[in-house]
């Protein structure tokens, strides 16, 4: 197959490029490098099945030749990034998704949207099943990402229902692993880099808020299974092991053997208090569940970040 990945030079996009190249597919990577990085795709640039198009998906997209799938992963995805690029985040989720769907329709290609657990906002139920509609503050600082992705889901379903595009929607929960940016501001890279530099670990709030972290290899395997299953409704992909941020810092400090202190900082507005995926649907329909233990995934990630210190 020939597959376009928007945001192909990002953290998740580059892992998808790698997975699809390993399965002998042709990959067209589109990125404007606002948060993606050339380093992430350097090793693919010489591969005969790999093409790079430097383009902002928010502008009209044109790709020559046939396409079998479009995987729409372009978007800032770390809270720090989408607060820095609020308008671009809204535009890529809305205009960018419209452009990518239009291209899928024109090419007769399948379309997979990278959605997010952020559509659930600060959830009033835990774990979150796909049928939960969420608790999002549309005008809060995170609203630029949350509402863009909620719009993206709505327009994806509309293209499926009204234009019969073969669509998929994956709701991605917190994911970590190699090729994350050391300075992307998220909890895992922040804590690892701080511990490696023997600096205090910055916990926002009292550290009792929870997240559930999935290693990137598990995540891309789930996405591949979803592409190969006819489910048009959203599917959660994530690791259901839930832990507090304080617990996460303890595990990271223990693996690194660091005795960095904790620096308690103010909690960002609308920071979700809990987050954990209900993955019953993925288990039943995709025959998928995560296989990589948090401690093992963190060890690989720490190894990667050691070269960035």
Cβ proximity to ligand UDP, 51 vs 218, nearer residue: 218
Q: Which residue of 229, 268, 270, 285 would you call a contact of ligand UDP, by CB under 6 A?
A: 268
Q: Which residue of 204, 240, 285, 300 would you call a contact of ligand UDP, by CB under 6 A?
A: 204
209 lines the binding site for ligand UDP (CB under 6 A): yes
Cβ proximity to ligand UDP, 204 vs 304, nearer residue: 204
Give the closest residue to 40 by CA, choosing from 296, 226, 304. Answer: 304
Give the closest residue to 243 by CA, choosing from 180, 177, 294. Answer: 294
The one catalytic residue in 82, 145, 176, 215 is: 145
Q: For residue 145, indicate whether it is catalytic.
A: yes
> With CB under 6 A as the contact rule, which of the stretches 202-210, 225-233, 277-285, 289-297 interacts with ligand UDP?
202-210
Task: Give the footprint of ligand UDP on residues 63-102 (CB under 6 A).
Answer: 78-79
Structure tokens, 177: 């692993």
Task: Round the CA-based radius of gyration of the chain to a whole number and report it.
Answer: 19
Spatial contact of 204 and 271, defined as CB atoms under 8 Å apart: yes
187 lines the binding site for ligand UDP (CB under 6 A): yes
Task: Give the footprint of ligand UDP on residues 238-267 (CB under 6 A).
Answer: 245
Q: Is 208 helix (H, G, I), strand (E, B) or coil?
A: coil
Phi, psi of 142 (to 5 degrees): -85, -10
Cβ proximity to ligand UDP, 73 vs 111, nearer residue: 73
Residue 234, strand partner residues = 169
What's the burial of 197, exposed, middle or buried (CB within 10 Å: 0-12/13-18/19+)?
exposed
Cα 143 → chain centroid? 17
237 lines the binding site for ligand UDP (CB under 6 A): no
211 lines the binding site for ligand UDP (CB under 6 A): yes
Q: How far is CA 32 from CA 4, 41, 183, 237, in A?
A: 14, 13, 19, 26
x/- binding map, residues 154-183, to ligand UDP, per CB under 6 A? --------------------x---------
Cα 30 → chain centroid? 16
> With CB under 6 A as the contact rule, which of the stretches 92-100, 156-164, 198-206, 217-225 interacts with ligand UDP?
198-206
Residues that bind ligand UDP (CB under 6 A): 78-79, 174, 186-187, 190, 202-204, 209, 211, 245, 268, 271
- Catalytically active residues are 145
């Amino acid at each position: 197959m020939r597959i376009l990945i928007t945001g192909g030079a990002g953290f998740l996009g580059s892992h998808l490029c790698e997975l699809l190249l390993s399965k002998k597919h042709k990959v067209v990577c589109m990125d404007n490098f606002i948060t993606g990085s050339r380093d992430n795709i350097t090793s693919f640039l010489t591969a005969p099945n790999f093409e790079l198009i430097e383009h902002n998906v928010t502008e009209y997209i044109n790709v020559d030749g046939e396409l079998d799938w479009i995987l729409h992963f372009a978007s800032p995805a770390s809270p720090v990034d989408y607060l820095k690029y609020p308008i671009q985040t809204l535009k890529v989720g809305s205009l960018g998704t419209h452009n990518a769907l239009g291209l899928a329709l024109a090419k007769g290609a399948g379309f997979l949207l990278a959605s997010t657990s952020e559509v659930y906002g600060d959830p009033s139920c835990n774990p979150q099943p796909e049928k939960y509609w969420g608790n999002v503050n549309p005008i809060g600082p995170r609203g630029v990402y949350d509402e863009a992705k909620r719009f993206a889901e709505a327009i994806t379903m509309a293209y499926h229902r009204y234009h019969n595009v073969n669509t998929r929607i994956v709701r991605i929960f917190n994911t970590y692993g190699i090729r994350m940016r050391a300075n992307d501001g998220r909890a895992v890279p922040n804590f690892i880099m701080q511990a490696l530099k023997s600096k205090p670990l910055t916990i926002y709030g009292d550290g009792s808020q929870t997240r559930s972290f999935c290693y990137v290899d598990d995540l891309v395997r789930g996405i591949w299974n979803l592409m190969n299953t006819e489910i048009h409704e959203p599917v959660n992909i994530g690791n259901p092991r839930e832990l507090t941020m304080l617990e996460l810092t303890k595990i990271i400090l223990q693996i690194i053997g660091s005795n960095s202190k904790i620096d308690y900082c103010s909690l960002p507005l609308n920071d979700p208090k809990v987050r954990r995926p209900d993955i019953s649907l993925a288990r039943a329909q995709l025959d998928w569940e995560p296989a990589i233990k948090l401690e093992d995934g963190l060890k690989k990630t720490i190894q990667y970040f050691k070269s960035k210190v």
